[in-house]
Amino acid sequence: MGDKDKIQSAEKIENISSQSECLLTFLFSPHSTIVTAMNAIATASALTLPICCRASKLDTKRGLKGRFGVFAVFGEEEKKNAWGALFDVQDPRSKVPQYKGKFLDIYQALEVARYDIQYLDWRARQDVLTIMLLHEKVVEVLNPLAREYKSIGTLKKELAELQEELAEAHKQVHISEARVTTALDKLAYMEELVSDRLLQDRSTAEVAQISSYPSTSVKSLDVEKRGQPQKSLNVSGPVQSYHPHLKNFWYPVAFSTDLKHDTMIPIECFEEPWVIFRGKDGKPGCVQNTCAHRACPLHLGSVNEGRIQCPYHGWEYTTDGKCEKMPSTRLLNVKIKSVLCFEKEGMIWIWPGNEPPTATLPSLLPPPGFVVHAEIVMELPIEHGLLLDNLLDLAHAPFTHTSTFAKGWSVPSLVKFLTPSSGLQGYWDPYPIDMEFRPPCMVLSTIGISKPGKLEGQNTRECSTHLHQLHVCLPSSKQKTRLLYRMSLDFAPVLKHIPFMKYIWRHFAEQVLNEDLRLVVGQQDRMNKGANVWNSPVSYDKLGVRYRLWRDALERGDKQLPFSS
């Protein structure tokens, strides 16, 4: 990054910051309509933004906390003056207002939103600083004087490490920018709500009806729900549309190896069609799978030089959804929807929600010592919650999987799932299987397989060889799930090099799943006719019940979700 780039980055941050200040000035101005809307913000509490307290790698290494001191890095006097003002910003976290109670009034909500913006601004500055520090380090390594003291090998290694850190820091800046943008959108939306409310107050003296807010308002759903008597666990059909709260997570949607530079992966996520493809720089992007011209599905087209081309009239879109080519007509300013999309550890992730994304992507790699042997994707005709219920249950194995992995298993007199009272993970007794539900839709399991067919009485630690499984159940639509399955072993690495093994793994995985599928499809049918699929839980249903309690709490909007310690 040259000085010019640094200045551009700095200007970008300043722009974001000044936009934020403008909005806030407007919101807090005594002449603003908002200030007069004293009673108008029952909805505001829904707009509180998450505050992430993650410290960057460089923070801990270099002790940069709170106020930044970059003078030593740049050395020269004029640089001190140029950059000092940018990074000499107080960490706002210590001043975050604490309010008790579930609902905030307008001033409290705006105050919280203001601190969120300040935090995001501070965070973005920190990310830029990280890039600058790394840049200085790269320059230092490349310095010809330094080369005299270091071997070429060491230099190469250091350079590779630094480039990796630099790429990571760039990614963080993008996420920070997206967080600031989303926060600003939220403020704008909030202002709209207040204006709507004011109009409403003028036209009627009655208390405004929550139901008059836009249908996307999370608050309205909450209030409707509170009015109804709630059973502790009622999962009856028909399947409802997905709750917006469920969208505010990073979701893995594809394996990296399935996405080449000129291929596309169409997916459905939360009932919307999307298509994933790689841009010119090789990075993945996710845009709506509907052409802006006449709604042709884009995945029926092709990818050329990082742009997806509609097969109908040839319009071409980049990974951020911008239309860059319109053959045979004048180019108009057209953009289709896109969502944040990143690649990490062999998977492609998207953030489908409206809230600002969390700053880091989760890791789903198997534990150290395991090698990935199979990555399989399947589209299944069931709602993702029902599939999760099924995967989190092992008591069904000796009855359901009698032709596959549980062939010959005896039926134990008692099956238990042992877990701490606060957790979403534990292990099965008497099976040597550890299992975890990882929000929002993942199941991880480790199976001890040292004595196939004779599993009783062992736990995974007593087994010398293991199989690790990851199941990602992506919510596609009310009756569709995209399943990403990754299988790893801590033995027999040679199997990975046998060419046809992947077909065998796929065949086996499909066989096991088909044993479950006919039952779960049947459950779904009953559920859609009104049956409660969690009518009578018993003790071995513990993990599935916890998943349902977690999801219920999330959808209710609880600040503290259960089993999250």
List residues near Fe ion by CB under 5 A.
516
Shortest CB 322 distance to ligand FES, Å: 14
Chosen from Fe ion, ligand FES, none, partner binding at 293 (C-beta under 5 to 8 Å by type): ligand FES
Segment lying near ligand FES (by CB under 6 A), choices 41-49, 65-73, 305-313, 418-426: 305-313
Round to whole Å and give the CA distance between 200 and 176: 36
Segment lying near ligand FES (by CB under 6 A), choices 127-135, 247-255, 311-319, 363-371: 311-319
Neighbours of 6 (CB within 10 A): 18
- Check binding of 315 to ligand FES (CB under 6 A): yes
Shortest CB 550 distance to Fe ion, Å: 21
Chosen from ligand FES, Fe ion, none, partner binding at 534 (C-beta under 5 to 8 Å by type): none
Segment lying near ligand FES (by CB under 6 A), choices 149-157, 260-268, 286-294, 479-487: 286-294
Chosen from ligand FES, Fe ion, none, partner binding at 516 (C-beta under 5 to 8 Å by type): Fe ion
Q: From the list 310, 348, 382, 449, which residue makes contact with ligand FES (rule: CB under 6 A)?
A: 310
Shortest CB 468 distance to Fe ion, Å: 17
Chosen from ligand FES, Fe ion, none, partner binding at 296 (C-beta under 5 to 8 Å by type): ligand FES
Shortest CB 318 distance to ligand FES, Å: 15
Round to whole Å and give the CA distance between 231 and 233: 5
Residue 88 is classified by DSSP as -
The string over 437-460, giving b where at least 16 C-beta atoms fall within 10 Å of a residue's C-beta and e elsewhere, is bebbbbbbbbbbbeeeeebeebbb
* DSSP-assigned letters across all residues of 10-53: HHHHHHHHHHHHHHHHHHH-TTSHHHH-TT--SSGGGGPPP---
Q: Give the nearer residue to ligand FES in terms of CB position, either 215 or 328.
A: 328
Shortest CB 348 distance to ligand FES, Å: 24
Shortest CB 324 distance to ligand FES, Å: 13
The beta-strand segments (E) located in 156-283 are 251-255, 264-269, 272-278
The string over 403-430, giving b where at least 16 C-beta atoms fall within 10 Å of a residue's C-beta and e elsewhere, is eebbeebeebeebbbebeeeebbbbbbb
> What is residue 308's three-state secondary structure?
strand
Q: Give the number of residues written for the chain.
A: 565
Tokens read off for 328: 């045979």
The beta-strand segments (E) located in 386-518 are 416-418, 425-429, 433-438, 442-448, 466-477, 480-489
Q: From the list 291, 359, 395, 533, which residue makes contact with ligand FES (rule: CB under 6 A)?
A: 291
Round to whole Å and give the CA distance between 294 and 282: 28
- Check binding of 296 to ligand FES (CB under 6 A): yes
Q: From the list 12, 79, 174, 293, which residue makes contact with ligand FES (rule: CB under 6 A)?
A: 293
Residues that bind ligand FES (CB under 6 A): 291, 293-294, 296, 310, 312-313, 315
